[in-house]
Amino acid sequence: MKNNEAVEAVKEIRGMMEKSSRFLSFSGTSAILIGLYALAGTFVAYGILSSVKDIPGEFSRPVWVTIVPDITLLALIVFALSLSTILFFSARKARKMGHSFISGPAYRTFLNFFLPLTVGGIFSVALLMGENIGIIAPAMLLFYGLSLINASKYTYGSIFWLGCCELLLGLICAFFPGKGLLLWSIGFGVLHIVYGIYFYFRVERDSAA
């Protein structure tokens, strides 16, 4: 009996330490939705890119410049939807768990996530301005993978492996630039959906139980 009480006490202490040092409000549902946004964005981007494929001098500078605003707007919309979804579901989960969404662990998680991501975004803009179009997709995957790995220290450890998968896809994409849109859709779309399903059934439901 005393051993059981000791084990329960250790579990309670461990839970309190995790709540105070780690961001535990991440939602698997948000990961699934982000993946769906990415796949929808890829579909629209493919349509935009296909509109210039029959034009002589495909992807020459004059032609590429005409579609940059559309691609940029599309990327911003997908990013805004993704960020809003993460914040909404994380805040809702925090309320259900009786935690404060605005906390030290949340600040550390988002800071470590967005710092590499912001650098990657600026770097991608520089590549776009320098007309290094083929490098943008692998750069986005690589910086996103680094962002996930960097943030995983302050939240669920399984996010580390998602980041590693993004890095691997980014490296593959660097060697096959013509497959950038396909690998981008796998990295930001399919992997998020798969991870979100895994997280919901293996982490969230177990925690709720």
Residue 179 domain-assigned (yes or no): yes
Q: Both tokens of residue 145?
A: 């993978």
pTM of the model: 0.81
> 4-19 as b/e, with b when 16 or more CB fall inside 10 Å?
eeeeeeeeeeeeeeee
Q: Does the structure show a pLDDT above 80 at 131?
A: no
Domain range for 38 is 28-208
Q: How far is 3 from 16, CA to CA, in rounded Å?
A: 20
Convert the pLDDT of each residue in 4-60 to its tens digit. Answer: 544 444 444 445 444 555 767 788 889 999 999 999 999 998 888 777 655 444 445
Q: Does a structural domain hold residue 110?
A: yes
pLDDT, tens only, 141-160: 999 999 999 998 888 888 99
Instruction: Look at residue 89 and tell me if it is in a domain.
Output: yes
How many CB atoms lie under 10 A from the CB of residue 38?
23
Residue 131 lies in a domain: yes
Tens of pLDDT, residues 59-110: 455 566 677 788 888 889 999 999 999 889 888 887 887 777 777 778 888 8
Of 208, 207, 197, nearest to 34 by C-alpha is: 197
pLDDT of residue 6: 46
Q: Specify the DSSP class assigned to residue 51.
A: T
Q: Does 8 reside within a domain?
A: no
Judge contact between 89 and 29, C-beta under 8 A.
yes
Question: What pLDDT shows up at residue 59?
Answer: 45
Compute how many other C-beta atoms are within 10 angstroms of the C-beta atom of residue 101.
Answer: 15
Q: Give me the number of domains the chain comprises.
A: 1
201 found inside a domain: yes
> What's the pLDDT score for residue 11?
46
**Is residue 35 within 8 Å of 97, Cβ to Cβ?**
no
- 């461990």: which residue's tokens? 14
SS3 content of the chain, % helix, strand, coil (to 5): 85, 0, 15
- Residue 167 domain-assigned (yes or no): yes
- Does residue 4 lie in a domain region? no
pLDDT tens-digit series, residues 151-196? 988 888 889 999 999 999 999 999 987 788 899 999 999 999 999 9
pLDDT in tens, 195-204: 999 998 887 7
What is the model's pLDDT at position 21?
55
